[in-house]
A and B are shown apart, each in its own frame.
Chain A
Amino acid sequence: MKSVIVESGARFLVALLLVFSVYMLLRGHNLPGGGFIGGLVGAVGFVIQAIACGTESARKALRVDPSNIAMAGLGIALLAGLFAALFGDALFTGQWLFIGATEDSKGLPLSTVLVFDIGVYLVVMGAILTLVFALEEEA
């Protein structure tokens, strides 16, 4: 079933949701949010695309098979955890780099925790989309 209203609405919503999902992912660093919720929001974006224009076009927009995204995410999350080995810490110990830190400012903090969260984001998004696409294509 094609609907002009859904299709034109989707154009805005998909872009908005994808941007918002990245915002949620980054915000989760210190505030409510994070990889899991970000991944869900991002998946909703592609799901709307699939509902409005068919799974074919959503798959095309995604470029990569969603199950591959999920597995790659698992790998990224795991590598973020293994990174701690280089510094002699236990698995999944967060490693931090404060760029331009001074006495009274933390500068720009970069961490493996964020990399882990990106992995979670990809796992959640990939897994949800694998399920939803399979269900859509079945029907």
Chain B
Amino acid sequence: MSWVLSIPLAIPFLTAVACYLTRDTPRAAWISVAGSALLLAASAVLMAQVLAEGVIAGQMGGWRAPFGITLVADLLSAVMVVITAITALAVAVYALADVSAVQERMGYHALFQVLIAGVTGAFLTGDLFNLYVWFEVMLIASFGLLVLGGTREQLDGGIKYVTLNLVSTILFLSGVGLLYGMTGTLNMADLAVTVPRLENQALVTVVAMMFMIAFGVKAALFPLFFWLPAAYHTPAFSVSAVFAGLLTKVGVYALIRMFTLVFTGDTEFTHTILLWVAGFTMVTGVLGAAAQQDFRKILSFHIVSQIGYMILGLALLTPLAIVGAVFYLVHHIIVKANLFLVSGVANRLTGSTELGRIGGLYASAPLLAVLFLIPAFSLAGFPPLSGFWAKYVVVKASLDAEAWVLAAAALVVGALTIYSMTKIWAEAFWKPHPEGHAPVLSALPARDRLALVTPIAALAVLTCVIGLAPEPFVQFAERSAAQLIDPSDYVATVLGADAAEGAARIAALEARE
């Protein structure tokens, strides 16, 4: 039982070791692809098991919860692990043609796999301190990936990224410390039981705010998002794709987990703040994007604005809203990673990501143009693509909750998203190249072409599938939301019969005294 949970963690670590030891040879890149494919298989097994049996939990080393390290997967965790594996596989294939030999020798593939391990661990852990550790694993790998190559721009972005993330880490750790001081446990399921019983609920709210800020930095929420657009346009394209797809989503996942499972005592206060933060995040992100003239910078600001939608879903805390948040999370990872991958190919063909200096892609590379249109339209929320359903559910939920202002904001932000996507379309694809180049795809070597275009096409197909047949995905999101809103299954599975037995034993001891 517990091996279904631990294998998805072990695979990327073992792959990382193998990739690092072979980093001087071209084999490393293929090992990374193979490892990601294995991870996808393992996560599919995990998903099948969770679908069949509900929440599953495992105690590492056989130490019982709440004392040992618990791994736990409910539907949300499982789907996040699957989507992580899909992104990892797509990016690993893409990296075959995207990463320079110098970056490979510095251990790109190993760092990438460690990053994936960190992300997977963060999704699977059932322990708050462990979550902190996985965040660190992820951050250390991402620092490395961000500055790999060492250009001035990268170091500038890297320093902002490191600094703000350190602040967030300190807050996170202090929050963990306070929570432990109050409850004596860090097991999330155990916290869900003990936190509501605490006398000093005001202090709980203070700690909740510390976590909100800490995760808010990771998730790039307003007003803590500035590190993201400063850093994401600098590293290799495959790196920025995996960052864009996964890193901020771990913050969102942590927020969803903590603010549905543990901090639900004073939702009037905490979730109202989240609500307004979500609104501001949507609006500032999209306005920031409107002002940019660089392919990747526009996309980076759009990550910020889209995070707002997910947090809006969480903040409303109605079943439908949570469905929206979960659906949005999955949709956005696929679409955003894909858009960054497209920007990499555009850069390769035209020589820049600066919109003023490129063009002509529609005339000379129509395939790429189509592959850009699909995720771009999906991001903007055109029917029948995945983004439409995601936006539809979130907006419907906010209308139901009579949050008129936020529903309006969500719709306006959608329109402005179309504006930025149109800008990229007009500049990079529609207008002729300013220097008269004809950036054709066949200019690339056949191997590179295949490695670059296949993952983009696969992710685009996935977007279309979710868009055209949303029924099973929405049903899945509904089941997952039901688990989040009523976490009794989660708690019972983690603490299990052991907890009942322990409570009985303590009662017996007390009776004897």
Q: How far is the CA of A68 from the CA of B23 in the complex (A)?
A: 10
Contact B17 A74 (CB under 8 A): yes
A85 at the interface (CB under 8 A from B): yes
**Residue among B16, B61, B107, B110 making CB contact with A92, cutoff 8 Å:** B61
Which B residue's beta carbon lies closest to that of A90? B2
Known: A90-B59, A91-B2. A82 touches B17 (CB 8 A): no
Q: How far is the CA of A122 from the CA of B208 in the complex (A)?
A: 39
B155 at the interface (CB under 8 A from A): no
Q: How far is the CA of A59 from the CA of B110 in the complex (A)?
A: 22
Q: Which of A32-73 contact B (CB under 8 A)?
A: 67-68, 71-72
Q: How far is the CB of B105 from chain A (nearest CB, A)?
A: 11
B58 at the interface (CB under 8 A from A): yes
Please report whether the interface of chain B is mostly helix, strand, loop or mixed according to DSSP. helix
**Residue among B6, B16, B59, B107 making CB contact with A74, cutoff 8 Å:** B16
**Residue among B17, B62, B110 making CB contact with A78, cutoff 8 Å:** B17
Contact B110 A89 (CB under 8 A): no
Contact B21 A90 (CB under 8 A): no
**Residue among A68, A78, A82, A92 making CB contact with B21, cutoff 8 Å:** A68
Q: How far is the CB of B413 from chain A (nearest CB, A)?
A: 43
Q: How far is the CA of A100 from the CA of B60 in the complex (A)?
A: 29
Give the size of the chain B interface in residues (CB under 8 angstroms).
18
Contact A71 B21 (CB under 8 A): yes
| Range of interface residues on A (Cβ < 8 Å) | 10 to 19
Q: How far is the CA of A85 from the CA of B14 in the complex (A)?
A: 15
B404 at the interface (CB under 8 A from A): no
B-side contacts of A82, CB under 8 Å:
10
A28 at the interface (CB under 8 A from B): no
Contact A75 B2 (CB under 8 A): no
B3 at the interface (CB under 8 A from A): yes
A-side contacts of B301, CB under 8 Å:
none
Q: Which of A78-113 contact B (CB under 8 A)?
A: 78, 81-82, 85, 89-94
Q: How far is the CA of A91 from the CA of B121 in the complex (A)?
A: 14
Q: Which of B8-65 contact A (CB under 8 A)?
A: 9-10, 13-14, 16-17, 20-21, 58-62
Q: How far is the CA of A67 from the CA of B21 in the complex (A)?
A: 9
Known: A71-B20, A90-B60, A94-B61. A78 touches B14 (CB 8 A): yes
Q: Which of A68, A74, A85 has the most CB of B within 10 A?
A: A74
Q: How far is the CA of A91 from the CA of B69 in the complex (A)?
A: 10
**Residue among B6, B16, B107 making CB contact with A91, cutoff 8 Å:** B6
**Residue among A68, A72, A90 making CB contact with B6, cutoff 8 Å:** A90
Q: How far is the CA of A93 from the CA of B6 in the complex (A)?
A: 12
Known: A67-B20, A68-B20. A75 touches B60 (CB 8 A): no
Q: How far is the CB of A4 from chain B (nearest CB, A)?
A: 38
**Residue among B3, B9, B14, B59 making CB contact with A75, cutoff 8 Å:** B14
4 new A-B contacts, CB < 8 A, other than A72-B17, A78-B14, A81-B10, are A68-B21, A75-B14, A90-B3, A92-B61
A-B contact pairs, 12 of them (CB 8 A): A71-B17, A71-B110, A72-B21, A74-B13, A74-B17, A78-B13, A82-B10, A85-B3, A90-B61, A91-B6, A91-B61, A92-B60
